[in-house]
Chain A
């Protein structure tokens, strides 16, 4: 699968960068024919992934580094959100809706990512950071519209 475009973004684990990250990825995503609603979903997924990195990965330490890599290939957006923080003890537990190690949090971050994107893969080891790989394909309707224009 040939990648038609890609980017790499690195920023500090500050709350104000959550909005920055989702806007950058959303702008990148508009290079393929996502609907407005799909772009909103992508923004939601990125917001949750970066929030997890800030509050769980780095425990709100603003000096951590978060890396986002984005790629576009065959009508698919792939986004990788990565931190070098504390990692996740049990990925299976973390993926359960409503599970959170922090009181006053809904524990729906991964559930939202799963709902907003087509695929999500979480790789993590305690003490070795977390990598979240998400993909989303443009919808069939947008695909057809693109084909009919070409």
Chain B
């Protein structure tokens, strides 16, 4: 697994690539926490369009960041789910709580609007 980051209008966008499981979830957790602190971004957009596999270990990390940000009135949104990843999100119930957008631009606009609304 690897990733690219950028910030747009105060939103941290992390584009992930590869597989998220027990072997990569600890790195993902610590890296997301580090990046959120480093960029001091209020909101996080995770682009999972190039993630080919996720299991409950990976979903746990994403749900953990979602809960943490939401408690602080910050937002987390998702972009792009490949079929296996979408199925895991559906089965876990995460699709009922985390918004999924079709593009990074829509997600960036969406998280900013949610907080100001």
A, B co-complexed: yes
Per-residue interface assignment for chain A, residues 35 to 50, with 1 indicating a CB less than 8 Å from any chain B CB and 0 otherwise: 0010011011001100
Q: Is the C-beta of B88 less than 8 angstroms from some C-beta in chain A?
A: yes
Cα-based distance from A123 to B56 in the complex (angstroms): 22
Chain A interface size, as a band, is 20 to 34
Q: Is the C-beta of B59 less than 8 angstroms from some C-beta in chain A?
A: yes
Contact of B88 among A16, A22, A55, A112 (CB under 8 A): A112
**B56–A48 touching, CB < 8 Å:** yes
Q: Is the C-beta of A15 less than 8 angstroms from some C-beta in chain B?
A: yes
Minimal beta-carbon separation of B76 from chain A (angstroms): 16
Chain B 36-85 interface residues, beta-carbon cutoff 8 Å to A: 53, 55-57, 59-60, 63-64, 83-84
**A112–B55 touching, CB < 8 Å:** yes
Contact of B21 among A51, A105, A115 (CB under 8 A): A51
With A40-B87, A51-B55, A51-B57 given, is the CB distance from A19 to B19 under 8 Å? yes
Chain B interface size, as a band, is 10 to 19
With A44-B84, A55-B22 given, is the CB distance from A106 to B60 under 8 Å? yes
Cα-based distance from A111 to B22 in the complex (angstroms): 17
**Chain B, residue nearest A43 (CB):** B53
Per-residue interface assignment for chain A, residues 46 to 85, with 1 indicating a CB less than 8 Å from any chain B CB and 0 otherwise: 0110010011000000000000000000000000000000
**Chain A, residue nearest B55 (CB):** A47
7 inter-chain pairs at a CB distance below 8 angstroms, sorted by A residue, are A15-B22, A18-B21, A40-B83, A43-B84, A44-B84, A47-B22, A104-B64
Residues of A within 8 A of B (CB): 15-16, 18-19, 22, 37, 40-41, 43-44, 47-48, 51, 54-55, 104-106, 108-109, 111-112, 115
